[in-house]
Amino acid sequence: MPDLDQKPTLILIHGAWAGSWGWHKLQPLLAASAIPSIAIDLPGNGVTEGAPGEICLKGYVEYVIQEIESVQGKVVLVGHSGGGVTATQVAEAVPERVAGIVFVTAMMLPSGMGFAQLTAALKAADPSVIGIGPHLEWSDDHLLSHVPAQAAKELFLHDLPEDEAEAAAAKLTPQPEGGRAIVARWTEEGFGSIPRLYVEALKDRSVVLSAQRKMQELVPGAKVVSLDTGHFPQAAAPEALAAEIIRFTDSLVDYA
């Protein structure tokens, strides 16, 4: 078992429409196991600056790397939902700084493939893979999408208590499309060389289980664990998620 003070810093990367607030239940549990963490707000998510038309994966990657450079030693990237694409591209950019990657019901895709391409191929067999798409409300210029509160509660937050679901839905912010329709490109020597954990959510109505399982098939090599939750296990089952992340982090040996 590695020394506690050598544990890597976890970089918590939110998905579309969300923010650092989504990890508030998880972080104290990580801290109790002496695992430091940084929950970031990606550019243009309503908290950090960024004009919708300027938001892109390259900017996301640069922003996350700035956070990585602020800590010593290696990091573990934890991507939720669309944050998995950002985590993938960050790992490809700076593999020497990344000890591991955790995908929390996240987009773990082959190089060059977007999530829309994946779901298009699955839709005939499982129409539920369309997820939140039909419910989105768009700005006139189509640069921003917004999730109506009721749709968020039904597809993202359905396994949370009503008051918590209401509060979380109210925190969702408009999402720049340049940071949602993103595609990572990676190599076996970069991203492909890094240990991975995939946390699948069995009751997810957004990134549905058939899509999660297809990504695991297309990008093999990750350890897989299952949680009986919807799309936000960090809110619905933080203790269970923390236990899996801690177990994975403690299994890593090369993070000095």
pLDDT in tens, 181-218: 999 999 999 999 999 999 999 999 999 999 999 999 99
**pLDDT-above-90 percentage for the chain:** 91
Residue 47: what pLDDT? 74
H/E element, 145: strand 144-146
User: What φ, ψ does residue 10 adopt, rounded to 5°?
Assistant: -90, 130
Per residue in 96-139, pLDDT (tens digit) is 999 999 999 999 999 999 999 999 999 999 999 999 999 999 99
pTM value is 0.94
Per residue in 135-189, pLDDT (tens digit) is 999 999 999 999 999 999 999 999 999 999 999 999 999 999 999 999 999 999 9
- Lowest mean pLDDT segment, chosen from 21-30, 44-53, 154-163: 44-53
Is 60 exceeded by the pLDDT of residue 255? no
With bands split at pLDDT 50, 70 and 90, how would you rate the model's confidence at 3? very low
Residue 18: what pLDDT? 96
- Estimate to the nearest angstrom the gap between the alpha carbon of 239 and the chain centroid: 18
Contact yes or no for 201/229 (Cβ under 8 A): yes
With bands split at pLDDT 50, 70 and 90, how would you rate the model's confidence at 52? low
Q: How far apart are CA 256 and CA 244, in angstroms?
A: 21
Architecture of domain 4-251: 3-Layer(aba) Sandwich (3.40)
Contacts of 44 (CB under 8 A, 6+ apart): 50, 51, 52, 54, 55, 176, 179
Q: How far apart are CA 148 and CA 135, in angstroms?
A: 7
